[in-house]
Amino acid sequence: MGLSSLFLVCVAAAMSSAFVISPPHMWSKLILTHHWPTTFCSMEHCHLNISYWTLHGLWPDKGIDCNSSWHFNSSQIEDLLPDMKKSWPDLLNPSSSGFWKYEWHKHGTCAAKAESLNSQHKYFSKALELYHKLDLDSILKKFDIIPSDKYYTFSQIEGVIENFYGVTPKIQCVHPSQNADVQILGQIEICFNPDFTLLDCERQTTMDEFTKESWDSPMGVGKPSGFSVCDHDMPVYYPSLL
């Protein structure tokens, strides 16, 4: 075999090896999503007296339902359950584990492509850890963003988060109708790099994010009562308990 042929064989082998070890559809960003129970329950007619921001999920920016054979098993996160029931409750069915099962299948099995999240316990415990470290609920209160009958500007809410955490969140609202003169605060996303350092979220909603929101929004983003990116120029209503 000549030198040129040998070189081509080596290049082909290297390319083949690189292809094999490169994880397909590896995500590049994690989205820690909080939702405001009062807004959610006004849409879904649930009745829970929860007056703090709860976890909605930890979502990688690529992939859905990446391993349908990897079934949720609550016994693997038994030590986390007391915290999950408080911080990550199923607002529709508080005694059910169905919401966590759903989040694991849709998002956790994709997050698990990273070694740091490659088990149910790693995934759920990391989501809880990030949620508690951010302590979004306390930070909003500290800077006088509290549920109220008065309206806030979008920049007031976004500014508190940007100034404290040093990154841009994605803030989502409910728009009750096309002609509404106020929007209702519903969901706040804060983003992380794969090493769990904070990262700016995209302000605009990409097509991928429209798809992702439809997995988890109770009404789907295509409907008027679903969550969508807040209008920066419209007053924001941050509702207190129903």
Domain range summary for the chain, segments of one domain joined by +: 24-237
Q: Which of 35, 56, 105, 175 is catalytic?
A: 56
- Summarised one tens digit per residue, pLDDT across range 46-78 is 888 899 999 999 999 999 999 999 999 999 999
Q: Tell me the average pLDDT across 157-180.
A: 93
Terminus-to-terminus CA distance in the chain, angstroms?
A: 79
CB atoms closer than 10 angstroms to residue 55 = 23
Distance of CA 54 to the CA centre of its chain: 11
Q: Which of 34, 35, 105, 107 is catalytic?
A: 107
DSSP 185-210: EEEEEEEE-TTS-EEPPPSS--HHHH
Q: Please, which contacts does 150-158 make with residues 24 or more away whose CB atoms are closer than 8 Å?
A: 151/182, 151/235, 151/236, 151/237, 152/185, 152/235, 152/236, 152/238, 153/235, 153/236, 154/230, 154/231, 154/232, 154/233, 154/234, 154/236, 155/232, 157/185, 157/236, 157/238
The domain made up of 24-237 is a member of CATH 3.90.730.10: yes
Look up the pTM and report it: 0.82
Distance of CA 19 to the CA centre of its chain: 30
The DSSP element (H or E) to which 30 belongs, if any, is strand 30-35
- The phi and psi torsions of 27 (rounded to 5 degrees) equal -80, 160
Q: Residues of the chain with pLDDT > 90: what percent?
A: 71
Residue 188 reports pLDDT greater than 50: yes
Residue of higher predicted confidence among 88 and 14: 88
- Known active-site residue 45: no
> Mean pLDDT score of the chain, rounded to an integer?
84
CB atoms closer than 10 angstroms to residue 76 = 12
- Known active-site residue 202: no
Q: Which of 103, 189, 209, 213 is catalytic?
A: 103
